Each structure stands twice: as C-alpha cells, then as structure tokens.
Chains A and B, each alone.
Chain A
Amino acid sequence: MGESKSVSTDRIAKLESVERISTGFAGHGYISSPRISTAVFLSQQLEKPVLVEGPAGVGKTELAKTAATYLDLPLIRMQCYEGLDESKALYEWKYAKQLLYTQILKEHLHALTGDSTNLGQALAKLEDLDDIFFSEQFLEPRPLLRALREPHGCVLLIDEIDKADEEFEAFLLEILSDYQITVPELGTISAIHPPLVFLTSNNTREMSDALKRRCLHLHIPFPDRKLETLIVEQRVPQVPERLRNQLVNFVQGLRGLDLRKLPSVAETIDWARTLLLMHTDELGPDVVRNTLNVLLKFEEDIEVAEREVAALVRAARDPNALRPA
C-alpha cells in the first residue's frame, strides 16, 4: 500500500503543471505543443480520457507511449478494427480450460454427488459449490479489463477507434466515463487506479457525440516550422543545423502542394535519417528526387512533387523566399 501511494504521488508530481509535463516529455524525446501538454494535464486533473485526432504520423500514438514511459507506467494498447467485440477487448471465459477441468474433475464430481439418491439432491450439492467455473480463475482478461486491474494505474491507449464499429464505441462509454465495466457473471469491476486513457482517431468517420462528450478533444495538426525543426533536432540530432532547416523548409513547402497524402512528422524524421545515411550536407534537387519516395507514399504524389522539386529546393535553401507563400 505504501509503495502504491508513493508511486501515485510521484505520478501526481510529474503531472502537476503544464510546464513540467512539457519538459518531462521533451526529456523522453517528445516535443509537445502547449495544447498537447495541457491536454495531458487536464486529463489527469479531470480524470477524463483524451480523444486525439489528426492526420496519420503526427505523433498521436507516440503521445501515449511517451506518457507511459514518462510516468513509468505500463502501456496497455488496444488496436481497434472492424468487428472488434467485447470478448476481444474486455474479457473472455477460458472455455478450453473450463472443459478440461470438468473432464479432469469428473471423478470428484462423481464422488461429491455419488451418495445423492436423486437428481434434485445432486443439483443442490453442486449449487453449494458456487459458480467455480465462472470465477476469476477462468477469466481471460483482455486489454480493457487488464487496464482496470493494474494496481498502480496505467496508460491505456485505444488506437484508431474510428476503425471499430459503432456498437463498440457505445460499449466503451461505461469504461470511459466511470472507469468501470460490468461482467454479468461477476458484477461490476471498478478501476483500482483510474488509468490515463488516450483514444486516437484518423477521422475516417465521425465519432458519436456521446463519446466526444466524455473526452477531452485534442486535435494535433501538422507542426509548424519551428516545432518541426525542434522535433527533428530531438529525434535525429546528428543532422547538421543547416540541413535540418533546409529539410524542414522543404517538407513545409511540400505540404502546400495538392497531394493525396501529405507527408507528416514521421516521414520527416525518416527522411532526415535517410539523408544522414547518404552523407548529404546540403539539399539539392537530385538528392531530393532520389529520396522522394521516403516522404511520399503514392506514385501520383511523387509525380506532382517532382515537377515542383526545383522550386521547392530553391525556396528551402533560402528561407526568406518562403515567407510570402
């Protein structure tokens, strides 16, 4: 008990202010905007989940992971997909084990009920044994139940909630608002320690109002130039400053084009690593053309971008030229 108390006070101390969260996250390699840190702060204070939306690759999942390492809590991740149901998300009875045990225990059951003369008596005796086959022993906890039963709390990441069905979304409401779930055979299970919950969504469909109402809503857009430079600096520190500025400028310019999938931070970081491996120290049209497939994931996007490479590289090398656009 004493240990758990110190763990939770530690956790509270780490989340005591927005600034502390920002610096703490930065220490773990995650550069967060003030709004992101405020979201984590409020999530702790209000005991509310955070619904994180934004384009792919801006660090939605990374946010939860960083929160977990920063707070030194286990991260329990649930990936959503179409057809996900409560037996995959919450709990399941271990059917095979139940069956196996009934087979093995057949003898004992026989012995127990052996002296009863009729069915009624045998049944009454069995009733006395309680529902042993529907007890915790045979319960297979899935991510949500595990999250509620973590003794020191945890970070629960419900990833890509928009991929799950609407029924599942409705099913989540109980756990999101009260941090408890109901298992018919066992009753209601409440969280030992309310977990820090992050839900991420790529906006492939609109979430229901009921879900939104229970969450803080955090939208992470593409980072601006300054933030992106910081992120690259943090993640790929070996990249020399001049190249760093140039490559960030280039990516920022690329986002201005009409593309099917805009490059996000994850791609910028990959690209920075690629350029590093190629021993590039200045951005040139040829290098960019050769490595464009790291940034862009569709053939037609690459075609569109290739036409603009020269102009974008020129602009990226001379940051002043970028201003008016």
Chain B
Amino acid sequence: MNETLSRFLEALRHSDLRISTAEILDAYRTVDIVGINDRSLLKDALALSVAKSSDEQERFDATFDQFFAHINVDMSDMLADANEPDPSEDESNTSDSSAGDAASSGGQGTPDDAAQTSPLDDFAASGNELNMLASMSRAAREVGLERMWIFTQKNLYTRRMLDEMGLAEFERRMRDTDAGDELDGMQNARERAFAMTREFVEREFDIFAADNGEKLREERLRDIRLQSIDQRDQERVRRILRRIAKRLISLYSRRRSKPMRGVLDVRKTLRKNYPNDGHLFELHWRRKRIKEPDVMVICDVSRSVSALSRFLLYFVHSLGEIIPKLRSFMLCSDLVESTDLFDQNSLDEAIDQALKRVMLGSTDYGQALVDFDNIALSDVSRRTSIIILGDARSNETNPRVDLMQKLHDRAKFIMWLNPEPRTFWGTGDSEMLRYMPYTHFARPTSSVRDLERAATALLQSALR
C-alpha cells in the first residue's frame, strides 16, 4: 500500500493540491488507522487530512475516484508477486474465451513447462487480464512511465512497455507459427495486449501528466501580446489573471496599519496602564492606518488598444477585494465614465455597453483630459492613484499637457501603460514623451507579465 499511497499523493499534487511533507506523514498515519478495506472510509479520512479547502476537496474526490478506479492493478500486482501466475494448458481455447470469463476465473489449469514465460506469452496462453495488468504495472516501472510528460509520448511509452513484456520474441514466434487456430489466438492476444497497454498508458497520462501541456501553454501565454491574442486563448488568459489577482490580494490584504516608530500613543498608553495604578509599564506606539486606496482607470478603447483594455479592466476588477473604490473611464474621441456599468453588469457586458457610450472616432487625448477635468478632477485627492492605458496617439490635436500636469500635482500616483514598445514613443503623432514627465510610472505593457508588474507597482504605492 505504501507505494500506492505515495503514487496517489503524487497524483493529487498533479491535480494542483498543495501537499506538504507533514501532510504526507498525516496521510500515512491516517491510512494506518483506518485501513484500506473500506474504500469510502478511506476516501473520507484521506480527504480530511489532505484536502484543505472545499475547492481542493472537489479535486480530491475526482482524483480519488479516477486513481482508485484502477487501483486493482496494484492490488493484483501484490497478489501476483505473492504467487506466480500459472498459465493454463490449452492455449488456443482459453485465449479465445471472453475477457470477463478469464479474469474472474483467475489462473486455471496446470502449470506449463515454463520454457517461455514472457508476460505476453502468459497472456496469450491464459488470457488472464488480472495477471496482464500486474505485468503492465511492472513494465511501467521498468520503462519509467512516470517520466512521460506530454501527450505525443503516449505511443512511445506504449511501445516500450510492450517491448518490455516480450513483444519482439512473441512476434517472432507468431511469424513461425502456421496459419490456423493457434495463430489466430496469438493475433487476438496481441491485439488485446496492445489495446490494454494503450489504455493503461492513457490512464496514467490522465492522472499524472495531462495538465503538463496546459502548464506549458499558460507559461507561453504570459509573454504573448494580449492585443493580438486568439479568441480561444482569452478564457485561459483570464484564468491566469484571476490567479495572479488572488495572489496579489493575499499579499497586500494583510496590512491595515503600520507602526509609526517612536511616536507615543498617549491615550492608549494611559488607558492600558490603568490596572497598573497609573504607572506606565506598557508603552503603546501610534499606528498609522493604511487607508483604502482610490483607483481610477482610464482606458483607451480605440481599436488599436481595446483588447488590452478589456484585460486590464478585467484584471483591475478582480482586485476588487483590495481596491474597493474603483472608478473607470473610457476614452476615444471623448471620455465617459463607465463605473456604473460595472456595478450592474457582468464584465463583458459592461465593456460592450461602455463601448456604445463612447464616441468611436479618432482618439483625442487632449479632449479626453478636458473631459476628465470636468467629470472627476475634483475627486482626485492625495489618496488617488490613476492608471491610464493608451498609446498616447492623439492624431495631431492639442495634447493639453497642462491638464496632465494639474493631475500630476493632485494625485498620489499616476501610471501610464503604453501598449507600444518604448522605441515607438514620441514617433509620429505619439505624445507619450510629452506626457511622461507627469507620470510616476510609465512602461510599455502588452503581456500578462507586464500587467502583473504594473499591478504590483500600483499596489505598492497605493497601499503605502
């Protein structure tokens, strides 16, 4: 059971459960206590000691069912180790009989003369699927099936396992056998062995490696330009963003206040020392409350930037737990506020509706700043952080840098995310270089990784 259990824990890790060494020890102790005979008890008990959230619980249940659906293999493996399988005497007859029959009857008949004992021979002779499963487990260990990493390797490993079980020898003997019942039987057995091994490999792959391809893909998606992302990858990117958001939330939600070194909190000190007859034994220092940040997002939604804007909005809204006060604005030829849309609708609908509100035409950053000045400048305070996402291509209109400067003077933090690479800034109608002096943070931003970096910078400064 030990090996099986550790393989099971390994499988759990593959389905994204975080299992520490201490939990592995717990799992072993648990199994010692409850035994392995009652499967539902075993499942409950292991779930309690290993799965640590309701989310993990679900994944545990799924993995348990998947894994132990084929655990009989390993049990029979142990049995097989104990008493060697005894092949039956009448080759052709038994191999023709149905699989269910052979499996249930186990190894029947008298021992063979043991001239050839490769697993495939045994299988052809007895048709005993249980023994075959045991042999496959052994072969899997020999060829290192756990190293299988990506789905294209399935065929390779199937072949290797068959070779390990004596396929070459078996096929050679098949060629020597004359046509007839015996050859038919062998062919039949060979086909079934192929199918079974293939199935075995598939199952192992599903448990241990199925998500590797996905992981590779996600890793690649982090660096891809979001503006030109495939429709089918959008959901994946969102999943990545959600995960990043979750991490950032847990990282930045902890601190609500920070100590101010050396500033005595007189009131608290007096209050806390009343029991000491007024003698000031315990000192208490003043703490500075970290206030909830105000964040305003201004997104360019013209065609060249809109896809990226969607992801940014999605990302910022996923951070809602630490940025409860979020206002969003859409910018194209003019600028409109879209905060209310996000309160009422799902994110996608909100963005679609916001796009209807804004005048789609040639972008005009100067006009947008004038609009922003009218709508929201009075709400910009020393607590406000502003994110602007756009290429700063203003189509040769007045960029109104003076308004940008005003904004810079009032706000705590201004971040400009530009989807263009730095070398393009200031070329043609780009006003980026003129706006840049009035930002605290300006970076080319096009991928998930860039978004993550920007969010970290935002939180670090906003929660200060």
Contact = CB atoms under 8 A, between A and B. Distances in A.
B3 interface: no
Contacts of B45: 38, 41-42
A216 B49 contact: yes
B23 interface: yes
B41 A34 contact: yes
Contacts of B90: none
A137 to B, nearest CB: 17
A306 interface: no
Contact of B275 (A35, A53, A96): A96
A320 B160 CA distance: 53
Contacts of A41: 45
Interface stretch (B50-58, B374-382, B423-431): B50-58
A42 B275 contact: no
Interface centre among A35, A206, A209 (most CB of B within 10 A): A35
A42 B22 CA distance: 16
Contacts of A50: 48
Interface residues of B, dominant DSSP: helix
Contact of A213 (B23, B51, B277): B23
Contact of A34 (B40, B57, B254): B40
Interface stretch (B26-34, B133-141, B311-319, B346-354): B26-34
B250 A213 contact: no
Contacts of A45: 33
Nearest to B56: A217
Contact of A95 (B22, B30, B33, B276): B276
A219 to B, nearest CB: 4
Interface in B223-243: none
Contacts of A42: 30, 33-34, 45, 48-49
B84 interface: no
A217 B40 contact: no
Range of interface residues on chain B?
20 to 34
B23 A206 contact: no
A218 interface: yes
B275 A95 contact: yes
B44 interface: yes
B47 interface: yes
Nearest to B57: A219
A221 B45 CA distance: 17
A41 to B, nearest CB: 8
A277 interface: no
Interface in B6-40: 18, 20, 22-23, 26, 29-30, 33-34, 40
Contact of B48 (A39, A166, A213): A39
Contact of A53 (B29, B40, B54, B277): B54
A206 B44 contact: no
Contacts of B47: 35
Nearest to A51: B52
B48 A217 contact: yes
B51 A217 contact: yes
Contacts of B277: 99
Interface string A137-167: 0000000000000000000000000000010
B44 A35 contact: yes
B57 A46 contact: no
A48 B49 CA distance: 10
Interface centre among B23, B26, B29, B48 (most CB of A within 10 A): B48
Interface string A1-38: 00000000000000000100000000000000011001
B320 to A, nearest CB: 14
Contacts of B49: 42, 46, 48, 216-217
A162 to B, nearest CB: 13
A75 to B, nearest CB: 22
A209 to B, nearest CB: 8
Contacts of B33: 42, 45-46
B20 A213 contact: yes
Contacts of A95: 275-276
A35 to B, nearest CB: 5
B259 to A, nearest CB: 13
A110 interface: no
Contact of A18 (B29, B41, B52, B254): B41
A225 interface: no
Interface centre among A38, A99, A206 (most CB of B within 10 A): A38
Contacts of B23: 213
A260 interface: no
A114 B254 CA distance: 55
Contact of A38 (B44, B53, B57, B276): B44
Nearest to A44: B33
Contacts of A216: 48-49
Interface in A181-221: 206, 209, 212-213, 216-219, 221
Given A48-B49, A53-B54, 6 more contacts: A39-B48, A95-B275, A216-B49, A217-B51, A217-B57, A219-B54
27 contacts: A34-B41, A35-B44, A35-B47, A38-B34, A38-B44, A38-B45, A38-B48, A41-B45, A42-B34, A42-B48, A42-B49, A50-B48, A53-B54, A95-B275, A95-B276, A96-B275, A99-B275, A206-B53, A206-B250, A213-B20, A213-B22, A216-B48, A217-B48, A217-B49, A217-B57, A218-B48, A219-B53
Interface of A: 18, 34-35, 38-39, 41-42, 45-46, 48, 50, 53, 95-96, 99, 166, 206, 209, 212-213, 216-219, 221
Q: What are the nearest 6 A-B pairs in CB distance? A: A95-B275, A38-B44, A212-B52, A216-B48, A219-B54, A35-B44
